Amino acid sequence: MKKQRTQKELDSIRLSWTLDDKGAILWKRKHVGGKIGDAVGLSKVRGNHRICLLHIDGKCSSFVESNVVWFLRFGEWPGHEIDHIDRDPTNNRVENLRMRSE
């Protein structure tokens, strides 16, 4: 079962991040150590899937990159696992993502 996100988390993502035309997540507000338009820092924590970190109310929350890309493109948090068509979990271009039906 996928982790459901709170409305506060989703609002924070929407206010903080945007997508470029290649599916990269960019900052759309100033942040510690950076500026608007910078790429969001990513780390590989869960298997080969990259993780984005965002501070919300003083707490660091982690999000799987493909879920964030899906949310920013389609406006809803994925209810099922996101599948990478080419099987490359680092290729998060919107056209390479699809939601698994379970």
Give the pLDDT of residue 102.
Answer: 65
Give residues with Cβ within 8 angstroms of 11, minimum separation 6. Answer: none
Q: Give residue 13's Cα distance to chain centre.
A: 8
Give CA angle at 39 (79, 30), nearest 5°.
100
Give the pLDDT of residue 2.
Answer: 65
Give the pLDDT of residue 30.
Answer: 86
Low-confidence ranges of the chain (pLDDT < 50): 1
Question: Tokens for 81?
Answer: 């696992």
Give the pLDDT of residue 46.
Answer: 63
